[in-house]
Amino acid sequence: MTPEPRGRKAPRGGHRYVIQKHAARRLHYDLRLELDGVMKSWAITRAPSLDPNEKRLAVHVEDHPIEYNAFEGTIPQGEYGGGTVMIWDRGRWGPDGDPHRGYKKGHLIFTLEGEKLRGRWHLVRMHGRGGEKKEPWLLIKDKDDEARNPDDPDILEEKPLSVVSGRSIPEIAEGKGRKRVWHSNRSVKDNVTGGATKADASVRRASTSKTSAKASTQSG
């Protein structure tokens, strides 16, 4: 079996990638990689690092629908994931070799072509454990040209804002520019099409005239 070349580019129209910064009960970064029509998801508790020596805990959580990638806004308190969601990075990912095999084995090697994160990365399941509901994995930057040293600037401080709207978490929380709500206890269809609440609609009407150009590029 011939492995695919290292550091290959993510294929056009291939696999979607997104990281949503999620200010919930505890702040974390949700890494999502498209595979087999869903977004495989890991909650990075201390955020990704470009320093290959920084191994970051990545708790494997439930698959998310692809439609959720375009969501930036708030999830009501009391619902699953209640809090504020920012699209922190997005783009494409390309696996090294067979991603199904890597996923099953507990070692995914892949290249990110995001607006913030690039280069090769590793997701490694800890202790070879499998089958647990919330498996602990580690997210580790590969030692390539995109890697940084501990003394280099931290990407989190360098680029803290949303890649779709340029907003901060507090700005998204207060609905600046555009207010969106995702109800995690409703279906994807209801959220994407008819799920807007009355409060949503009135805010949208009120803010239509002053919606920034950046915010209006957001899809979904």
CB of 182 to Mn ion, least distance (A): 11
Q: What angle do CA 7, 11, 13 make, to 5 degrees?
A: 155
Q: How far is the CB of 20 from Mn ion (least distance, A)?
A: 7
Residue 163: CB minimum distance to Mn ion, A = 17
Which amino acid is located at 48 in the chain?
Answer: P
**Strand locations in the chain (E):** 15-23, 27-35, 38-44, 56-64, 73-75, 83-95, 107-114, 118-125, 136-141
Region of 17-25, 111-119, 145-153, 167-175 interacting with Mn ion (CB under 5 A): 17-25
> What is the smallest separation between the CB atom of 102 and Mn ion, expressed in angstroms?
23
* Site size toward Mn ion, by CB under 5 A: 2
Q: Answer yes or no: are the C-beta atoms of 56 and 72 closer than 8 Å.
A: no
| Residues with Cβ within 8 Å of residue 198, at least 6 apart in sequence | none
Q: Which is closer to Mn ion, CB of 22 or CB of 92? A: 22
* Nearer CB in complex with Mn ion: 184/193: 184
Structure-derived torsion over alpha carbons of residues 111, 60, 69, 210, reported in degrees to the nearest 10: -110
State which residue, 138 or 203, has the beta carbon closest to Mn ion: 138
Q: Is 96 a binder of Mn ion (CB under 5 A)?
A: no
Amino acid letter for position 188: V
Strand-strand pairing, 83-95 and 107-114? antiparallel
**At its nearest, how many Å lie between Mn ion and the CB of residue 140?**
20
Please give the single-letter amino acid code of residue 128.
Answer: G
For Mn ion, which is the closer residue by CB, 10 or 139?
139
Beta bridge partners of 22: 28, 85
Give the residue with the Cβ less far from Mn ion, 30 or 34: 30
Residue number closest to Mn ion, CB atom = 22
Instruction: Tell me the closest approach of the beta carbon of residue 43 to Mn ion, in angstroms.
Output: 5
d(CA 192, CA 196): 8
Part of the chain binding Mn ion (CB under 5 A), chosen from 18-26, 46-54, 71-79, 93-101: 18-26
51 lies in the binding site for Mn ion (CB under 5 A): no
Interface characters, 19-48, with Mn ion (x: CB under 5 A): ---x-------x------------------
* Residues binding Mn ion (CB under 5 A): 22, 30
